Structure 1
Amino acid sequence: MNKIGVSASVRVLVVALFSFLAIILISFFKVALEWEDAEQAFYSQWFRLGYDDQPPLYTWLQICINKILGLNRFSLVGFRAFIFSATLFIMYKFAYKVHKNENLAVLSVLLLFLIPVFIDFNFRRLTHTSLMCLFSLSLYYVFFLLMENKSLRNYILLGLIIGGGLLTKYNFALIIPTFLIIPFFDAEAKQIVWNRYFFISIGVAGLLVSPHLYWLFDNTQYVSELKMSMAHKTKSVANHTVFSSLWAYLKSFIQLSILLFLVFAVAFFRRGIQLKQQKWNSLSKLFIIQFVIASVVFVSIGSSKVSERWLLPIFLPFLVLLFSFFQFKKITVWIKWSFRLFVVVLIVQLVRTPVEKMLKIDSSVHHSFEPIALKLDAFSKKQWVLPDVTYAGSVKFERTKKMVFSSDDFTLPKTVIDSSNAIFVQKEKDANLEIIDSLIGFGEAKEALYFGVKKK
């Protein structure tokens, strides 16, 4: 029997395997791709140093997978499913590293299914955020690994994780200052950061991100678009008060963790758990620092909207911290019921799409993009330019051998699209285009689409 216990490992592997299979199976109930999968179907047509308003790592990996498996439903969804399953396993490893307890490590994995956004978004559709969850947990795991073994290998691994995280989502940068501040409050963390090998970690991370950073700051238009995208997503305005921004942040944090706190509150009052004498360990200090840093950032940019999925990868590792506060009277009972919860959640997710169809609850994934592709087939020798990335990726999925373009792809060089030899699909009529076909009432939004060529 190995150090962390065969039975515990098997339980986690079963949960990870079932999750992997469920994510793939769910995708086959959908007629169309989820919108982030459609984005990857589109962007993975090219290797670039930057895509849209996200860093490029996820798409680079997707390109590699597509080269091996081709562009299909399995290559897109299977990659997401693998990331989700790997996240469960890293959570297990990290929890065991912190608590040295197999049961608590297994329970940490199972209680992830009490986080709504982790299941509703991460499980079904998210790409970059899913990968950031994996890198975030990996960062904490390796940091705690360094507390025990400050080897060169672990410092190189730390650098790879930091670099990979920064190339996955820009808000991974919110996590880094936490590990630079913690040495001033924690002796163990101080020994990690104030170590000569830590400069190797910085060098490895810098080496990984430098090509993208060079491209980023060499393209002022992209940086401008990036700022506008961030302002739009956070609804940042200059006249927002500190209180309104802080409330938006706190409300999102509460929504992220409300089910966990309710379960623990009920268990406490029913005497299923009891409070332990709390010590200010490294993880609790990291949580306080991270919570303050995130609040300062969202307040400073005047954000009036903070999405739960933005906070998910930042605070996911701190689920493990809950077990520092409580003593479980019957931990095996918790594991038994948590596993049943996992099974119920899995079944609900599996039947969700078929039930939506049966009850005529409309959703974008119920509408095939084949009607658009069929109309475009009449212009096979022209370039196809769709109104946005979601449309373009969905049509690309229907016609995998055809190069497809998008009107809102601001990272594509303008010279690539030959407007004199292109068919444009737009949601509104354009005076510069001669409309030669249309598709009225398409999709969930019942949109009108117009097919046009440049006027001579």
Structure 2
Amino acid sequence: MRSRVGRRPDLVYIVIAGYCLLSIILKILRPDSLEIDESEQAFLSQYLMLGYGSQPPFYNWLQYGVVALFGISVASLTIVKNTLLFLFLLFYGFTVHTLTSSRAFPAVAMLGVLTLPPVFLLSQRDLSHTVAALCAVSLFLCGFFLILKKPPHLSGYLLVGAAVGVGAISKYNFVIVPLAALLAILPEVRLRKRLFDWRVLASVAVCAAIVAPHAFWIINNLSHATGVTVAEMKEGSEGAVLPHAIQGLVSLAVATFKGVALTTAVFGLVFSADVGKILRAESLWTRIVGRMLLACFLIVALIIVAMGATHIREKWLALFTALLPLYLTLKIDAAGLDPAKRLPALLSIAGFLAFGVILMLWARVFIGPIIGDYSFAHTPYKGFSRVVHADGGASPTAIVVDDRIVAGNLRIQFPDTPIILAGISPESQNRLPAGRILAVWSAESGRDGVPPRIAALLTPKQPRLAEIEPTIVAIPYNAGRPGDMYKFAYVRVDTH
């Protein structure tokens, strides 16, 4: 493949498709216990709502639709994520194809994207909404540069409107990207007129139609939508040594460095012989993308100062650092270089990172227990479901839990039974069904008694709950060492 990709850069599309397919296969081959984000998606796939809390609903809507069609399973969860990841890379390649003349440049850009930590590592480990937003970013870039380079056409403006709408309901910070794009073309006299084309109204209309349902929800649930994120951004502010604004800007600088250092180093290594020439090169497109990058981080800095935020995570910047491989690729094009000879080296590095991580995550499930390292993937929910089915009790009309991870995993094991997260599930206080209720919780760390949130939900329906003795079961870990067990507790309650 290394020798062929220099002659046939289009083979990179096949590599990327194979990468996403292998990720799906390896995930299915692992034990079917879910990580944090996957658990949340599995649990929320029971509901179709205008808003779900601190994250916009687009990914949840996609997941709900797939589950409605094909049922809840590890496959239906991982296919959604990896399809979005593939589309992100595909649209990214299309964007570069629009702006360059050589077939090698889209391959350079897509392989460059695979060296970004949020893409090759975080997205495979446990991201969901960010993956959808990344897909929206590349779709927006594709439509945006199509409008700028080609004669104005209604389809391009509609594409941009759809991308902005989808992005806005995928991640709230996505809106910074189109705002930065508008600021980036203002200095270009020839391109400014595209902002005053009548087709912009069609673009705005499409965007508004997509955003409107969730916007209505936000108006009535603003604190619910923003509270968690604001709290996370101000994490550690009480003990801050520096003024909040300065500490926030330092955190931004550190997170930015973590996000761009590896990709910058990879490009610098692969194109080391021409670094000076690349740095000096400039074109219309490098100016626009460079301004977009700068504008994105300046806007984030202003938000940090205005909010007094002190803590910025690398994954929050993923939508902005995703512009870096595009910028570097366009700089290489502006330098007049033929990157085909460098593709094998870039493929080796990107392939090692991307394929290495998904293989490592798969192998960790089986190697980790050898050294006593147990993760969410090792929690034996399937073994627990076998115990519940074998204990002779009637099938529950609903399962009540007090933890999102337990909720999502039991949704996989009991696909036909409603899972209610005590105190959090929509209308759970008023919609607890009559019949046999199964309450389940982790009995690790001595949690043998009925947890308070579960008790608060069930007691009005069963006043004698305190007299019912919970059943404690110890189940061997998935792929665990002999004798290593995980404890669950459950109680069956009849309600009327």
Q: Is the TM value for this pair above 0.5? A: yes
Shift of 1:284: 1.8
Residue of structure 1 equivalent to 2:107: 106
Shift of 1:346: 4.6
- For structure 1, which segment, 343-352 or 263-272, has the greater mean C-alpha deviation from structure 2 after superposition? 263-272
Larger Rg: 2
- For structure 1, which segment, 90-99 or 236-245, has the greater mean C-alpha deviation from structure 2 after superposition? 236-245
Residue of structure 2 equivalent to 1:354: 363
Residue of structure 2 equivalent to 1:365: 377
Matched, 1:340 2:348: yes
Matched, 1:226 2:225: yes
Matched, 1:294 2:306: no
Matched, 1:242 2:241: no
Give the partner amino acid of 1:340.
S
Whole-angstrom distance in 1 between the partners of 2:394 and 2:312: 43
Whole-angstrom distance in 1 between the partners of 2:440 and 2:473: 10
Shift of 1:443: 7.0
Shift of 1:410: 5.3
Residue of structure 2 equivalent to 1:175: 177
Residues 455/211 of structure 1: CA separation in 2 closer, same or farther (3 Å cut): same
Shift of 1:294: 1.6
- For structure 1, which segment, 197-206 or 360-369, has the greater mean C-alpha deviation from structure 2 after superposition? 360-369
Shift of 1:142: 0.6
* Aligned residues of 1:8 and 1:106 also touching (Cα < 8 A): no
Shift of 1:62: 1.7
Whole-angstrom distance in 1 between the partners of 2:427 and 2:191: 43
Residue of structure 2 equivalent to 1:399: 414
Whole-angstrom distance in 1 between the partners of 2:477 and 2:312: 29
Whole-angstrom distance in 2 between the partners of 1:193 and 1:410: 44
TM-score by length of 2: 0.81
Q: Deviations over 1:58-113 (max 9, x none)?
A: 12222222233222222211121111111111111112223333212211111222
Q: Aligned ranges for residues 411-422 of structure 1 at < 5 Å? A: 411-412=426-427, 414-418=429-433, 422=437
Whole-angstrom distance in 2 between the partners of 1:55 and 1:449: 33
Residues 416/117 of structure 1: CA separation in 2 closer, same or farther (3 Å cut): same
Residue of structure 1 equivalent to 2:43: 42
Matched, 1:305 2:311: yes
* SS class of match (2:399): strand
Question: Between Structure 1 and Structure 2, how many residues are aligned?
Answer: 449
- For structure 1, which segment, 245-254 or 401-410, has the greater mean C-alpha deviation from structure 2 after superposition? 401-410
* Aligned residues of 1:25 and 1:350 also touching (Cα < 8 A): no
Shift of 1:202: 1.2
Give the partner amino acid of 2:317.
L
* SS class of match (1:424): strand
Residues 414/197 of structure 1: CA separation in 2 closer, same or farther (3 Å cut): farther
Matched, 1:438 2:472: yes
Residue of structure 2 equivalent to 1:16: 16
- For structure 1, which segment, 326-335 or 393-402, has the greater mean C-alpha deviation from structure 2 after superposition? 326-335
Shift of 1:164: 0.9
TM-score by length of 1: 0.88
Residues 124/333 of structure 1: CA separation in 2 closer, same or farther (3 Å cut): farther
Q: CA RMSD in A?
A: 3.1
Residues 411/307 of structure 1: CA separation in 2 closer, same or farther (3 Å cut): farther
Residues 74/9 of structure 1: CA separation in 2 closer, same or farther (3 Å cut): farther
Residue of structure 2 equivalent to 1:4: none
Shift of 1:132: 0.6
Residues 370/174 of structure 1: CA separation in 2 closer, same or farther (3 Å cut): same
Listed as ranges, the gaps of 5+ residues in structure 2 are 1-6, 456-464, 479-483
Give the partner amino acid of 2:294.
I
Whole-angstrom distance in 2 between the partners of 1:248 and 1:202: 35
* Aligned residues of 2:105 and 2:329 also touching (Cα < 8 A): yes
* SS class of match (1:278): coil
Residue of structure 2 equivalent to 1:154: 156
Whole-angstrom distance in 1 between the partners of 2:47 and 2:385: 21
Q: Deviations over 1:101-132 (max 9, x none)?
A: 32122111112222122111213432211111
Whole-angstrom distance in 1 between the partners of 2:214 and 2:437: 31
Whole-angstrom distance in 2 between the partners of 1:24 and 1:30: 10
* Aligned residues of 1:72 and 1:397 also touching (Cα < 8 A): yes
Matched, 1:258 2:261: yes
2:490 aligned residue (444, 451, 455): 451
Residues 75/426 of structure 1: CA separation in 2 closer, same or farther (3 Å cut): closer
* Aligned residues of 1:268 and 1:274 also touching (Cα < 8 A): no
* Aligned residues of 1:396 and 1:404 also touching (Cα < 8 A): yes
Residue of structure 1 equivalent to 2:339: 331
Give the partner amino acid of 1:283.
V
Residues 120/150 of structure 1: CA separation in 2 closer, same or farther (3 Å cut): same
Once the two structures are aligned, what percentage of the paired residues are identical?
A: 17
Shift of 1:299: 2.9
Shift of 1:335: 0.4
- For structure 1, which segment, 15-24 or 120-129, has the greater mean C-alpha deviation from structure 2 after superposition? 120-129
Residue of structure 2 equivalent to 1:3: none
* Aligned residues of 1:37 and 1:125 also touching (Cα < 8 A): yes
Residues 455/70 of structure 1: CA separation in 2 closer, same or farther (3 Å cut): closer
Shift of 1:448: 6.0
Residue of structure 1 equivalent to 2:66: 65
Residue of structure 2 equivalent to 1:209: 211
Whole-angstrom distance in 1 between the partners of 2:327 and 2:154: 28
* SS class of match (1:414): coil
